[in-house]
Structure 1
């Protein structure tokens, strides 16, 4: 059986990684018990395997910025274009979401209103009702956000799937099987808490109270359900 490849684009906070693991560990945990084996590849060390060698790909978050256009990131963007053209199932998370948009002709940049950190209420757009992943989610659900940049402009071929009050492009799909989500379906509550604490001074600089952001955090089971849903969908597609 072809695996789902987790394509690592960066590391989480060092202290958090020591106690709770890293991005790829959390994603793998969200896929555990699913129908497909899981492999991990660090994109900074070279390109992932060919899209036809995998049942699907999940691109992680990163503390890098897509707008920096690092050589490894631009190479991964080109790989993503090929994967989408080949109709390989893809799920981009945070940095992966932004890189997917950039790869397909969208625009990524810093948020003028500052960081988007904490638990937010994501709302589906009407197009999400028939989406293979988002159609099973509630019309409104809680999701963890931690990002300084956003997709400023979606690719012309994208279908907007979800938004929240300060983020019009919280999720999108391109073609039949490539999704980007700005939120983190893999994040646990301790992970979001660690980022709120880490970014406390940045939040203050933008007029936000870190203690209030922390107090408003809550579990996000519906966002977490996206990972096993993606694995199930990729497996069903591979079995056709």
Structure 2
């Protein structure tokens, strides 16, 4: 039986705001998805940014089959107790060699923990969807991205990005807005597979994120008003309720890589299947 640990670095306020808009925190979204993709899995959760964060009694990082890092509003280039605790947690994961996966801020946390850097988005934020993510030569043969086409869209909302990957990391995908959309990072005894986008969230959560960040989207010039944000979010919500509505998918410029849940979850499914098949061997062996 697999045992997973979900590391949720949202602040308590951010967790409650997210629950208020979509009914669950980022960690709770991960728990739901992991239980769907790996029936029977035992999942625990930790909030490494919190001062009182602790593993379940008797548990160790080495005792988990995999660790999953969620999205978070933390800015990893800011030196704060929360960012220090989160980075220290990821370094501990690398040190014990437990395979890890992360989306959005999860990729950024692993990057900084292994010696890379993060910055504000140089080309402006991606909001709702990352468009035309393109596989690198390495990405086309990497098991994380198996089944993805050469270019695809994915749910994405972020104001920060990876500025430089750590030494030895492998770039797997990028697009015009964000150069690092997917990467493999090897550090100490561990291997991390990460993406800047959010395969774990459904269209309802995309709409909720837009509503929570409406003021910032207007300030960034991505929307003329909060009403514009609401209109766009309403279309996304409607497509969530009925993913087969081709007219809405056409209006939003989306295809099955986003609207079909199985295809949207490609990276998570690939990671879990690799963990289940190889454990810490094969693709997760340091030096491979």
Q: Gaps (5+ residues) in structure 2?
A: 236-251, 282-288
Aligned partner of 2:285 in structure 1 is none
Residues 166-205 of structure 1: pairs in structure 2 closer than 5 A: 166-175=177-186, 177-205=191-219
1:67-88 residue CA offsets vs partner (Å, 9 max, x unmatched): 2233243233233234234432
Report whether the alignment pairs 1:8 with 2:19.
no
Larger radius of gyration: 2
Runs of 4+ in 1 over 6 A off after TM superposition: none
Residues 29-178 of structure 1: pairs in structure 2 closer than 5 A: 29-33=32-36, 34=38, 36-43=41-48, 44=50, 45-46=52-53, 48=55, 50-121=60-131, 122-175=133-186, 177-178=191-192
Number of aligned residue pairs: 240
Q: Which has the higher strand share?
A: 1
Larger RCO of the pair (alpha carbons < 8 Å, separation 6+): 1
Q: CA deviation at 1:16?
A: 4.2
Could you tell me the TM-score, scaled by structure 2's length? 0.74
Cα distance in 1, alignment partners of residues 53 and 18 from structure 2: 26
Aligned partner of 1:237 in structure 2 is 278
1:73-120 residue CA offsets vs partner (Å, 9 max, x unmatched): 323323323423443210122111101001111111111333211112
Could you tell me the TM-score, scaled by structure 1's length? 0.88
1:104-149 residue CA offsets vs partner (Å, 9 max, x unmatched): 1111111133321111232211101221211332222221111111
Q: Gaps (5+ residues) in structure 1?
A: none
